[in-house]
């Protein structure tokens, strides 16, 4: 179940990137579960990773390798998170990298591992080693769809985004794919996301582009308030195109950031549309805050309230639940008579109570929609923010109750 039709994306191949996906039977038979991305020599790479203290073995390895070594391959498996696996888990991840390095004739440190799936089970790395030769031979510049399919777990459809634009007279292309349906309040990025550009950008500037793009996309989504042990978001610039960006305050940099933000936002919102058990795509806008931080506190308190989320699932305009969530968000000296709450174009609350013009029929009309917008004005300042979330359905409970079966 997902909200809205699946987008048909025409992916623009990125020069310097080849991809492949294979069935290695890590957890399930006849399912793509192993993905390889080849990155051209001379590319620059930036990454952000989960802040969960129990981060997975591949996260620890990837974080160090991306920082200190020029990445040539991303090796991604699903079905097993390789998290909570101790020293044995790290040895398994390194063994997979060593196996690929031998095939590709490169240093093992140039292979960056990623995993997603069940936590607490040892990675069956022997299955990955067996599949690696075939996976390597299958590398192709056009395998974006199969790569996006191969990183999915409980997702019902792949998520891809692509754009082409001109800056300073030079054409540039950005393409990427992501996965994630549950255990999402990333606190850095999302479960797994990989975005590639053909521009030439040095690492420090690329890291700035990534941080900004993540902050307003993957760091503005939540399904259930849980931060995964395996979250990773990677940005690669191959330098194979004609666009060269050297100054952060240049017009080319601003245009690149804008296009990158659009790709990240598309991927992030696609994740929420395909959240586990989702029947609603919900945008929560908080305006007139004293700071962005307090706007975020309100937005996430509303977005992650089980009572609010179940009301959305029932299409019940129970606005009292939204009001209660705002009130417990921790804002000091909140003047409740300055707060307004609206569903779409329907004003629910003003002057601390139900608006005089509100009708249950109007509220019901808004709640019956698949896409719902909640607008909260705090009346405290000029700060604003936006968060995307989903409803909490019985299907979400079923998926997570049966996750290991």
Structure tokens at 334: 């909140």
Backbone conformation region of residue 315, classed left if phi is above 0, alpha if psi is from -120 to 50, else beta: left
Q: In the β-sheet with 17-22, what is the strand arrangement from edge to edge?
A: 17-22, 34-39, 73-77, 111-115
DSSP 128-186: HHHHHHHHHHT-BTT-HHHHHHHT-SS-SS-EEEEEEEEETTEEEEEEEEEE-SSSB--
25 neighbors 41 (Cβ within 8 angstroms): no
Please state, in angstroms and rounded to a whole number, the distance separating the CA atoms of residues 152 and 192: 9
Calculate the CA dihedral of residues 377, 380, 382, 387 and round it to 10 degrees: -40
The pair of structure tokens assigned to 38 is: 């080849």
> How far is it, in rounded angstroms, from Cα 321 to Cα 309?
9
Strand partners, 390: 281
From the candidates 190, 269, 385, 389, give the one annotated as an active-site residue.
190
> Which whole-number Å values give the CA distances from 343 to 12, 282, 359, 372, in the listed order?
38, 10, 12, 7
Q: How many CB atoms lie within 10 A of CB 362?
A: 17
The answer to whether residue 190 is catalytic is yes
Structure tokens at 98: 């060593």
Helix H or strand E segment including 104? helix 86-104
Residue 203 CB: number of other CB atoms within 10 A?
A: 14
- Residues tagged active-site: 190
């Amino acid at each position: 179940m997902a909200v809205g039709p699946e987008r048909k994306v025409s992916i623009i191949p990125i020069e310097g990137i080849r991809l492949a996906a294979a069935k290695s039977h890590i957890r399930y038979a006849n399912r793509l579960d192993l993905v390889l991305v080849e990155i051209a020599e001379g590319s620059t790479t930036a990454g952000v990773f989960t802040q969960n203290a129990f981060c997975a073995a591949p996260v620890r390895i990837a974080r160090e390798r991306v920082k200190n070594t020029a990445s040539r391959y991303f090796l991604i498996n699903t079905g097993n998170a390789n998290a909570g696996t101790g020293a044995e888990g790290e040895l398994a991840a390194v063994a997979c990298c060593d196996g690929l390095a031998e095939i590709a004739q490169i240093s093992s440190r140039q292979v960056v591992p990623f995993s997603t799936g069940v936590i607490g089970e040892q990675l069956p790395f022997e299955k990955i080693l067996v599949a690696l030769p075939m996976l390597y031979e299958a590398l192709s510049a056009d395998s974006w769809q199969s790569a996006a399919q191969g990183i999915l777990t409980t997702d019902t459809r792949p998520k891809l985004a692509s754009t082409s634009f001109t800056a300073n007279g030079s054409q540039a292309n950005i393409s990427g794919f992501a996965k994630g349906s549950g255990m999402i309040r990333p606190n850095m990025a999302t479960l797994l996301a990989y975005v590639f550009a053909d521009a030439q950008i040095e690492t420090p500037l690329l890291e700035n582009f990534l941080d900004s793009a993540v902050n307003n996309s993957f760091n503005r989504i939540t399904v259930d308030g849980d931060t995964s042990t395996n979250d990773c978001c990677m940005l690669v610039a191959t330098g194979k195109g004609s666009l060269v960006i050297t100054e952060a305050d240049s017009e080319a940099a601003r245009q690149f950031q804008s296009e990158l933000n659009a790709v990240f936002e598309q991927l992030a919102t696609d994740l929420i549309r395909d959240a586990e058990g989702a029947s609603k795509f919900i945008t929560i806008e908080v305006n007139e805050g004293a700071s962005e931080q307090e706007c975020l506190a309100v937005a996430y308190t509303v977005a992650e309230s089980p009572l609010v989320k179940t009301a959305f699932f029932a299409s019940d305009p129970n606005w009292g639940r939204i009001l209660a969530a705002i009130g417990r968000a921790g804002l000091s000296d909140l003047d409740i008579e300055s707060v307004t709450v609206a569903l779409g174009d329907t004003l629910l609350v003003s002057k601390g109570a139900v608006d005089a013009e509100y009708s249950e029929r109007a509220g019901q009309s808004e709640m019956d929609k698949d896409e719902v917008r909640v607008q909260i004005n705090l009346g405290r300042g000029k700060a604003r923010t936006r968060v995307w979330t989903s409803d909490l359905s019985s299907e979400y409970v079923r998926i997570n109750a049966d996750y290991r079966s």
